[in-house]
Amino acid sequence: MTTEQAPAASSRRIPPVLARRVVPAGWPAFAPVALAGLVAVIWVAYVHPLVHFDIDVFLRAGTAVAAGRDPYPRPGTADVYSGFAFVYPYLVAFPFALLAWLPRGGAAALFIGLSVLAVLAGCRLAGARRFRLYALVLAASCTIIGLQMGTLNAALFAGLAALWRLRDRPVAAGGLAALLVYSKLFLVPLPLWLLLTGRWRAAAVAACALGALFGVGELASPVDIAAYSDMLGVLARAEAPAGLGLTGLLMNVGLGLTPATWVARAVAAALLASCWAVGRCAARAQARAWGAGDDGLLFAATVAAALLASPIVWSHYLLLLAAPLLVLEGGERAGALATATVVSWLLVTPHLSTPPDLVVSALVLAALAARPLAGAARRAAGERGIGRLATLAVPAAAIAVPALAGLELCWALARAHHGGDAVTGAYLVTLGLLALPAWGARQVHGRPTSPSRDPRTPYLAVSGVEPQVDDE
């Protein structure tokens, strides 16, 4: 009797291969339940009570293109920057034509559910192996705000992670880079990343695919490229000063849109060029070929440069920074990601946050971030020693004093320009974007390098950065 029941019992078990695909290896048994609970808290406290403005815009645009109508606002009117207008490239509206067939509430809930799955998939594709990393990305205020609004940023984050994962497959990487750029135009440095890392075929595929997308869009769109560009210019002039971008910061301290935009682009280009030069010099000094760590550093610089050059940067755009953070930390450590998650809440809180919501969120953040931050502090003390760690106070002060002086200068210029001082958020985000590649260079070139790789030869690792000892 026992021998006859054994096959039936074994057939009810989840096959080990399937279990590994659904739940990453090494996760504790409670991890899926904990993540589900975190998603439930985010939904009940922050997402469900709000109107999801961006998904409403997408659904209206999908309904319009399905009916053969123009999805765009009238050029030159205040509708362009009302916050309720579709201002994306024309073909972006077509996937939402399918969602528009559903009831509005059901379509919004489905889109937000898919966005949560995209965040989890992006973490997996970027090489995250510890469940705490998934939870930290979900718990960041920029992630929650993106879910509240129903934005594309979760899909863009997953796309960036997939681009990293597929970077050595020319057709897939080039096509995906083109889709990302077409969906959100400020990601235009992505094909340049492929080019600078020696992936010539992928860069060529990206250029051709992007040209095809814009060509088809130009033929089908009721608005030509010149009118669309003018619409984006009007949008940037109206919205950039209220955002967290470098262009808006410069406009708030007195520059016009055009000079502010070009200064921001120059800073972004300098950042990208300097990180490429650092990688090349490090490879030459160590007598090695361009390595996977150099790929990761330039990937981080590319995402940071895209945000620096973008005229409009809202807080939910910052979710995209999680992709290079996960890549550079190798999918194991969580110190930098924990820091970024905590800072995101200090920078901006989700819309309509109530005191009870904030108390619960603080407890969740403490539970998620305490051990990674403590582990990072222990590692720093172990590497330098307590005595040498104290000597960091001098260089820290050398950085903090000019940074605070720069913030005070921005406040003064902003008050003189328009009587306000709404520059703190944009200033801090700009400093963070500049600091990310500097920290990445320390991660990549401040420890033993990974096996060398010629930029023209395949490298198939998921993260491209060597696994590190977990800090938990």
88-92, 271-275, 372-376: which has the minimum mean pLDDT? 372-376
The reply to whether 175 falls in a domain is yes
The reply to whether 121 falls in a domain is yes
- Residue type for position 65: V
Q: Which two tokens stand for residue 48?
A: 């469900």
d(CA 176, CA 169): 11
105-114, 286-295, 379-388, 462-471: which has the minimum mean pLDDT? 462-471
Contact in structure between 299 and 325 (CB atoms under 8 Å)? no
The reply to whether 320 falls in a domain is yes
- Indicate if the pLDDT at residue 17 is higher than 50: no
Q: Pick from 6-15, 52-61, 460-469 the range whose average pLDDT is largest.
A: 52-61
Structural domain containing residue 64 = 42-445
pLDDT tens per residue across span 431-446: 999 999 988 888 777 6
Share of the chain above pLDDT 70, in %: 84
Q: Which two tokens stand for residue 22?
A: 């659904």
d(CA 324, CA 384): 26
d(CA 152, CA 115): 8
pLDDT band at 259; cut points 50, 70, 90: very high
- The residue with tokens 């769109």 is 221
- Indicate if the pLDDT at residue 386 is higher than 60: no
- Indicate if the pLDDT at residue 173 is higher than 90: yes
Q: What is the pLDDT of residue 385?
A: 55
Contact in structure between 461 and 292 (CB atoms under 8 Å)? yes
- Residue 291: strand pairing partners: 452
The reply to whether 93 falls in a domain is yes
- Indicate if the pLDDT at residue 16 is higher than 90: no
d(CA 269, CA 263): 10
Name the domain count of the chain: 1
Q: Give me the torsion for CA of 213, 218, 220, 221, rounded to 10°.
A: 110
220-229, 296-305, 352-361, 452-461: which has the minimum mean pLDDT? 452-461
pLDDT (mean) for 294-317: 95
Q: What is the pTM of this model?
A: 0.87
Q: Please give the full DSSP string across 284-339, using - where no structure is assigned.
A: HHTT---BHHHHHHHHHHHHHHHHHH-S---GGGGGGGHHHHHHHTTTT--HHHHH
* Closest residue by Cα to residue 253 from 432, 420, 400, 405: 420
Phi first, then psi: what are they for 460, rounded to 5°? -110, 10
Q: Provide long-range contacts, Cβ within 8 A and 24+ apart, for 60-66.
A: 60/86, 60/100, 61/86, 61/88, 61/92, 61/93, 61/96, 62/93, 62/94, 62/95, 62/96, 62/97, 62/98, 62/99, 62/100, 63/97, 63/100, 64/93, 65/90, 65/93, 65/94, 65/97, 66/97, 66/100
What is the Cα Rg of the chain in Å?
Answer: 23
353 φ/ψ sector (left φ>0, alpha ψ -120 to 50, else beta):
beta
Q: What is the pLDDT of residue 464?
A: 40
pLDDT (mean) for 20-37: 78
The reply to whether 269 falls in a domain is yes
The reply to whether 31 falls in a domain is no
The reply to whether 249 falls in a domain is yes
Q: What is the pLDDT of residue 10?
A: 38
Q: What is the pLDDT of residue 11?
A: 37
The reply to whether 25 falls in a domain is no
